[in-house]
């Protein structure tokens, strides 16, 4: 079964308001050009969600993180309802930078995922192993443990996208080979099939993330279980991001 590719640009904490509007408008153009063939998304800093969403056209707009709480005394946090009102239709959950630098463990990731789904946001659940884990041969143990930690309480996968992002490939310029990525993507899909059934696993998009660029996107995206990309650094360059989106269409 071929799933429609999804390519999302995660801008992280980069740029300014002008750049956000320009990148969002460029994403709108590529989303329109690839309409029905590739789904395009952007994940701007929260302060610019609303402005970016206003010019993003059919590109979907996702928050980079969202609170596990519905509301109340949580200084500095943003609820899923607030993010929706600002134009987000989805959110990243469990990005490795949040796990590493903001202390988000599997329990927090599971709570955030539950809250986002209950609020009607699409969830891009990020999983991936460290270099130490890969070198120790523990890649699949780590990834399956993160899937279990985040998804154990769910009874169905609707509204969930998985992003496999090896931590050693994020922002390092080092990319997993297509073979390395495909091996983990296939294992993720098997895990989903065991847990949620073949049909649900076959319908779920599994994105690859980790130094994806225009020059390596086609080889990665041609793999059977790679259904798109979560793009960090390269998504800050509109032409490069468009090239990745076009590679997904091939």
Give the residues lining the site for ligand PEP (CB under 6 A): 10, 165, 170-171, 209-212, 230-234
What phi, psi does 187 have (nearest 5°)? -65, -40
Kindly tell me which of 188 and 234 has the beta carbon lying closer to ligand PEP: 234
From the list 104, 122, 144, 165, the catalytic residue is 165
Residue 165 among the catalytic residues: yes
Residue whose CB is nearest to ligand PEP in the complex, by number: 232
Eight-class DSSP state of 57? T
Residue 95 among the catalytic residues: yes
- Least distance CB 117 / ligand PEP (angstroms): 21
Kindly tell me which of 80 and 181 has the beta carbon lying closer to ligand PEP: 181
- DSSP string across 72-104: SS-TT---HHHHHHTT-SEEEES-HHHHHHS--
C-alpha 183: how far from chain center: 19
Eight-class DSSP state of 233? G
- The span from the CA of 98 to the CA of 164, in Å, is 15
- Least distance CB 171 / ligand PEP (angstroms): 4
- Least distance CB 213 / ligand PEP (angstroms): 8
Kindly tell me which of 14 and 111 has the beta carbon lying closer to ligand PEP: 14
C-alpha 82: how far from chain center: 20
Catalytic residues: 95, 165
């Amino acid at each position: 079964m071929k799933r429609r590719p999804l390519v999302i640009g995660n801008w992280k904490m980069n740029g300014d308001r002008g750049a956000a509007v320009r990148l969002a408008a460029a994403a709108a153009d590529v989303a329109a050009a690839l309409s029905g063939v590739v789904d395009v998304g952007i994940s701007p800093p929260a302060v610019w969600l609303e402005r970016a969403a206003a010019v993003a056209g059919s590109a979907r707009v996702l928050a980079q993180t969202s609170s596990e709480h519905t509301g109340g005394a949580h200084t500095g946090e943003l609820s899923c309802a607030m993010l929706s009102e600002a134009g987000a239709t989805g959110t990243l959950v469990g990005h490795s930078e949040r796990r590493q630098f903001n202390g988000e463990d599997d329990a927090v990731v599971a709570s955030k995922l539950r809250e986002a789904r209950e609020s009607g946001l699409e969830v891009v659940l990020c999983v991936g192993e460290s270099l130490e884990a890969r070198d120790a041969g523990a890649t699949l143990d780590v990834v399956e443990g993160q899937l279990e930690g985040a998804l154990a309480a769910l009874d169905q996968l609707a509204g969930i996208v998985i992003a496999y992002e090896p931590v050693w490939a994020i922002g390092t310029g080092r990319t997993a080979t297509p073979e390395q990525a495909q091996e983990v993507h296939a294992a993720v899909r098997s895990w989903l099939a065991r847990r949620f059934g073949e049909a649900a696993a076959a319908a779920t998009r599994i994105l690859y993330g980790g130094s994806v660029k225009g020059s390596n996107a086609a080889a990665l995206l041609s793999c059977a279980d790679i259904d798109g990309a979560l793009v960090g650094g390269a998504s800050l360059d509109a032409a490069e991001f468009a090239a990745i989106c076009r590679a997904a269409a091939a």
